[in-house]
Amino acid sequence: MLEEIHASRKPVGFEQLDVSAIVSRYLPAGMPRADVLAAMRQHSGARIIEESPVTLIVRDDQGKAMLDPDARSVVMTFTFDGAGKLAQVQAVHLKHQ
């Protein structure tokens, strides 16, 4: 999933590309929270930024800002319903400044 995002169109300047559709193909609505967490842990560069019963925010960085002219990140916000099922995905692909 992250490989597909990083291979897609690159953000320019302060542009934030909505990549929610790509993430949703791999992690569809209704998926259990434990499965989403397991999928994120499979990606070595993905870090959990915030975790609560209803929200999970994950960031994946490619390259290091200031050292890599093509340093980019994917920030994914997963929202879960009361039963712990994935209700919504919001994901953006952005360039480090």
Task: Assess whether pLDDT exceeds 60 at residue 3.
Answer: yes
Residue with tokens 């925010």: 57
Distance CA 93, CA 11 (A): 7
Domain-by-domain residue ranges, the chain? 2-95
Read off the pTM: 0.86
Question: Per the structure block, which two tokens stand in for 36?
Answer: 């989403």
Distance CA 74, CA 58 (A): 8
Confidence of residue 21 (pLDDT cuts 50, 70, 90): very high
What's the pLDDT tens digit per position in 59-82? 988 765 555 556 788 999 999 999
Distance CA 28, CA 36 (A): 9
DSSP H or E segment with residue 7: helix 2-7
